Amino acid sequence: MVQFDNQYRQVKLKVVYYGPGLCGKTTCLQYIHRVTDPQRRTKLYALNTASDRTLFFDLLSLDLGRVRGYRVTLQLYTVPGQVQYNATRRAVLAGADGVVFVVDSQRSKARENQDSLANLAENLRANGLDPDTIPIVLHYNKRDLPEVLSRPELDQLVNRQGLRVFETVATQGTGVVEGFAAITESTVLSVADRLGLSGQQETLQRLVGNVRTALQPLLPRATQPVVEGPVVIRPPGQADALTPDELVADAVRANVAMGELSTRLDSLSTELARRVSNLHSINEFGHLMSLAREPEDVTGSFFERFLRELRVSCGTLMVVRDGGELYEVMRKGLASDPMGETDSHGEVPARTVITSRQPFLAQLEELEPAQVLASPWLDELRGLGFISALAVPLIAQDRPVGLVTAYADTTRGPFEDEELELATVMSSTAAVALANARAWRSIEQINRNLEGAVAERTRDLQEALGRVQALATQVEDRNLELEAANRQLRDLERLKGDLLSRVAHELNTPVTAIQTSARILGRYGEVPPDKAAKFVEIITQEAGRLADLIASALQAAVLGFPEGRPQGQTLPLADLLKRALAPLRTELSERKLTLQVKIAAGLEKLWGDGEQLEAAVRAIVRNAVEFNREGGSVTIIARPARRGGVALVELRIEDTGPGIPADDLPHVTEVFWQGGNVLTSKPRGLGLGLAVARRVAENHRGALDISSEVGKGTVVSLFLPAQEG
C-alpha cells in the first residue's frame, strides 16, 4: 500500500525480500544498503530471530523522481524464512508494493523453496494483495555452490508464471543490484497505474527515466543481460585478449563512470553547502527581524530577503488587515499576481492557501492537464513562462497575518523541498515579527491616548484612595472583631451542645441507679440489712460519680473563655497546688497512691489566671490518679525552664499508670475524647481534662507536652510564664 508522507511530501514504496530460511535475503539487503548508501546516512535496522533476521531501511539517497509533487522513496524489508515465524512474515508483508523472492538454488532446498513460494501467495492474500498482480522478481541465489539445480529445473519448480529471473551470488553482490533495479522499476510503474497514471504516457516515461537514472550508477559496468536460455561459455583456447575497439569502449565506460561519480559528489557537496547556507541565512534573517520595530520595516526587509534567498525576481507579499481583508503590499516582476485575483470559479487562490495554513509548492511541468483545467490560474502561470510556484502563509500565534508568493522560470529551475522549508521558516519568523510590530504600534498609540487620561484621573484617584484606605482600615478592624466574635460564638455553641448531650447521657446511669436503690430502701422493713448496706454503697458511689460529672462540667467553663491573654496576676505556687489537689485527697487514699510534690528552690510564684491554672492542674492530676495502678505514685515537679529563649515554669506531673498507646496519644487533648472500649472500659468523666489543660496553656502563651510509654506511665508537662510579659 502506497504511503503518503505529507510532512516531507514523500511517497514511500515498500519492497519485501521473501524466501526460505537462510536463502540469502539478508545478504542481499546488506549489499544493497552498502552500495546505495556508502556514507551510512541511513540506518539498517534488524530484528534478530533464532537463525534469521528481519531487516529494513529507507533508501532516501536515491532520487526516483516525483509523483504529483511527492518525492518517490523506497523502503526495503526482509522476512524470517523459518516456518515458526509465519506471523512475522505476514505482518512484514502488509502494505507491500513489490516482492523479491529469493530462491535457494541448492538441490536439497527444492521443497523449502516451493513451500515458501506457496506461503508467499497465502500471506499476500491474507493482507488483501493479489499474487497475480503485485510485481514479483525472482533471485536464483547461491549459483556459486556445488549441487545446485539447473536453470530449467528451477523454472519448472518455482517460475511457471514466467516471472523475471536474476541469477545471483548474494555474498559477492552478483546480480543483486540488477534484480533490485528490476523490482524498483516494476513497483514504480505498478504504483503509477494504481494512482490513475496508466493512460499518461509522458508521465510514465518520465518516472521510468528517473528510476533508471537513479539506479544506473549502481549497476556493474560489465553487466551481462538477463537471458532465458542457456549461458554460452567461451570454449577453451579462444583468444582472451581484448581488441582495440573493446579497450576504447572500456575506457569510455570508465570515464563515464568517473564523470557520474564526480557529478554525484558535486551534487552532495552542493547540497551540504546549500543547507549550511540556509542555516546561516535563517540565523541572519532572524537577527534582522528582531531589530525591526515598524510593520513597514518588517514587510520590506522580509520580501527583499525572501526573493534573494530563493534566487527569483517575481513574487508578491500580501497581508491580512484587521477586518480579514487580504491586500497586496509589495509585488515584483509581475503586472499582477494570479494567486491574488478571483478566478473563473469565483475563488481567490491566495485566500485558499491562507485558509489551509499549509505551504504550497507546485511543479507546473508535473501537473496533469486535468489539474490545470481545474485550476485556471496555474495555466496562466504557465503562460507567463513559469515552471514552479511557491506560496507560504504567514502564521503568528495560530493566526494568519499574510501570504508570500514566488515564481521560478526555466533559467532558475524548479523549487526544491529544501527551499520550501527555508521559505516556511523565514515566513514564520517574519509573521511573528510583523505581529509584534503591529502590537508595538498599537501599544504606543494606546499609551499616548492613555497618558492624558491617566494624568487627569490620577489626582481624583489619589483623593479617593485616601478615603478608601481610611474606610478599609475601619472595615478591616470591624471584620477582625466580628470574625473573632463569630468564631468564639460558634465554639461556645458547639461546646454547649456537646456538653449538654454528654452530660445528659452520663447522668442517666447514676441517676437511674440512685432512684432504683432509693425505691428499694423505701421498703426498708422488707430489705435485709446486708442488702440495704449494699444499696447505700451504690447510692454513695453513684453520688460520687455525679459529683465527678458536675466537676467535669464545670471544667467546660474554662473552654468558654475567649482566646487571648487572660487577666492574670502573680500567684503563690504552693497555694495554687494545694487548692488544685485538695479535692483529690480521697481518691488518692482509696487507690492507695503516693503523692509527691517537689518545688525547685527559689521558685515561689508564677503568673496567670488563678481559676484557669487551678482547673488545669487539677485536670492533669485527676487523670494521673484515675489512670494509675493501685498502689502506684503521682509525682508533681515544679521547676524553671526555657523554651525559645523565654523563661517559663514547668509543672511536670508523672504517674505510674499503664501508659497511653501511640495511636491514642495525638487525640488525648481533643474535646470529649476518651480512650478505651466504650462498652467495657469507658473512663469516667466527659473527656475534658487534658483539653482544658491545653486551652489554659494556650491562653497563657504556654504549651502542654505529653509523653507516654505503654507499661511505664505518662508524663504531662504544663509550661507557664514565670512572670507577666
DSSP string for residues in 579-641? HHHGGGHHHHHHTT-EEEEEE-TT--EEEE-HHHHHHHHHHHHHHHHHTS-TT-EEEEEEEEE
DSSP tag of 525 = G
* pLDDT over 50 at 587, yes or no: yes
What's the pLDDT score for residue 170?
Answer: 93
Q: How many CB atoms lie within 10 A of CB 560?
A: 13
What's the pLDDT score for residue 544?
Answer: 61
Q: For residue 544, tell me if it sits in a domain.
A: no
Name the phi and psi angles at 271, rounded to 5.
Answer: -65, -45
Statement: the pTM of the whole predicted model exceeds 0.85? no
* pLDDT over 60 at 59, yes or no: no
- The more confidently predicted of residues 55 and 707 is 707
Among 539, 543, 558, 553, residue whose Cα is nearest residue 504: 553
What's the pLDDT score for residue 41?
Answer: 65
Question: Same structural domain for residues 396 and 293?
Answer: yes
Question: Same structural domain for residues 10 and 156?
Answer: yes
Distances (CA, A) of 93 to 17, 87, 111: 9, 10, 22
Question: Same structural domain for residues 285 and 161?
Answer: no
- State the CATH number of the domain containing residue 167: 3.40.50.300
- The more confidently predicted of residues 560 and 294 is 294
- State the CATH number of the domain containing residue 612: 3.30.565.10
Q: For residue 479, tell me if it sits in a domain.
A: no
Among 12, 5, 9, residue whose Cα is nearest residue 57: 12
The grid coordinates listed for 701 are 502563651
* pLDDT over 80 at 82, yes or no: no
- The more confidently predicted of residues 174 and 677 is 174
Q: For residue 256, tell me if it sits in a domain.
A: no
Q: In the structure, what pLDDT confidence band is assigned to residue 252 with cuts at 50, 70 and 90?
A: very low
What's the pLDDT score for residue 265?
Answer: 64
Question: Same structural domain for residues 214 and 294?
Answer: no
- The more confidently predicted of residues 406 and 498 is 406
Q: Report the percent of the chain where pLDDT is more than 90.
A: 22
Cα–Cα distance between 393 and 398 in angstroms, integer?
Answer: 11
CA torsion through residues 208, 213, 219, 224, sign: positive
Question: Same structural domain for residues 567 and 646?
Answer: yes
Question: Same structural domain for residues 210 and 296?
Answer: no
What's the pLDDT score for residue 255?
Answer: 44
Q: Calculate mean pLDDT across residues 61-66.
A: 66
End of a domain among 386, 403, 438? 438
Q: In the structure, what pLDDT confidence band is assigned to residue 26 with cuts at 50, 70 and 90?
A: confident
327 residue type, one letter? Y
Among 64, 53, 51, 50, residue whose Cα is nearest residue 13: 64
Mean of per-residue pLDDT scores for the chain: 79
- State the CATH number of the domain containing residue 430: 3.30.450.40
Question: Same structural domain for residues 417 and 566?
Answer: no
Q: In the structure, what pLDDT confidence band is assigned to residue 111 with cuts at 50, 70 and 90?
A: very high
Among 314, 294, 460, residue whose Cα is nearest residue 386: 314
Q: 3-class DSSP state for residue 519?
A: helix
Q: For residue 617, tell me if it sits in a domain.
A: yes
What is the count of structural domains for the chain? 3
Contacting residues for 409 by C-beta, under 8 A, at least 6 apart = 314, 385, 386, 387
* pLDDT over 90 at 201, yes or no: no
* pLDDT over 60 at 529, yes or no: yes
Report the run of H or E that residue 653 belongs to, with start and end: strand 646-655
Question: Same structural domain for residues 187 and 293?
Answer: no
Cα–Cα distance between 109 and 255 in angstroms, integer?
Answer: 43
- The more confidently predicted of residues 553 and 104 is 104
Cα–Cα distance between 365 and 385 in angstroms, integer?
Answer: 11
Question: Same structural domain for residues 299 and 421?
Answer: yes
Q: Calculate mean pLDDT across residues 347-375.
A: 76
Identify the domain containing residue 314 by its residue range: 277-438
Nearest-10 Cα torsion for 580, 583, 586, 589: 0
The grid coordinates listed for 619 are 485536670
Q: Which of 126-140, 188-202, 204-218, 260-274 has the highest mean pLDDT?
A: 126-140
Q: For residue 527, tell me if it sits in a domain.
A: no
DSSP tag of 169 = B
DSSP tag of 323 = T
* pLDDT over 60 at 565, yes or no: no
Q: For residue 176, tell me if it sits in a domain.
A: yes
Q: Calculate mean pLDDT across residues 150-164.
A: 93
Q: For residue 530, tell me if it sits in a domain.
A: no
Q: For residue 643, tell me if it sits in a domain.
A: yes
What's the pLDDT score for residue 253?
Answer: 42
Q: Calculate mean pLDDT across residues 453-476.
A: 86
Least confident of 530-539, 610-619, 660-669: 530-539
Question: Same structural domain for residues 25 and 174?
Answer: yes
Q: Calculate mean pLDDT across residues 627-635.
A: 90
Cα–Cα distance between 186 and 344 in angstroms, integer?
Answer: 41
Question: Same structural domain for residues 192 and 326?
Answer: no
Distances (CA, A) of 129 to 77, 160, 161, 288, 453: 17, 20, 17, 55, 76
* pLDDT over 70 at 74, yes or no: yes
CA angle in degrees (0–180, nearest 5) for 402-405-407: 180
Least confident of 41-45, 66-70, 312-316, 408-412: 41-45
Cα–Cα distance between 281 and 306 in angstroms, integer?
Answer: 10
- Looking at the DSSP bridge assignments, the partners of residue 718 are 651, 704
Q: How many CB atoms lie within 10 A of CB 24?
A: 25
Cα–Cα distance between 581 and 618 in angstroms, integer?
Answer: 6
Q: In the structure, what pLDDT confidence band is assigned to residue 234 with cuts at 50, 70 and 90?
A: very low
Q: 3-class DSSP state for residue 187?
A: helix
Question: Same structural domain for residues 216 and 303?
Answer: no
The H-assigned helical ranges of 312-389 are: 349-356, 369-374, 376-383
Among 670, 663, 669, 657, residue whose Cα is nearest residue 718: 669
What's the pLDDT score for residue 556?
Answer: 57
CA atoms within 13 A of residue 263's CA, in its CB half-sphere:
9
Q: Report the percent of the chain where pLDDT is more than 70.
A: 74
Among 32, 214, 15, residue whose Cα is nearest residue 100: 15
* pLDDT over 80 at 158, yes or no: yes
Are 719 and 704 in contact, with CB atoms under 8 Å apart?
Answer: yes
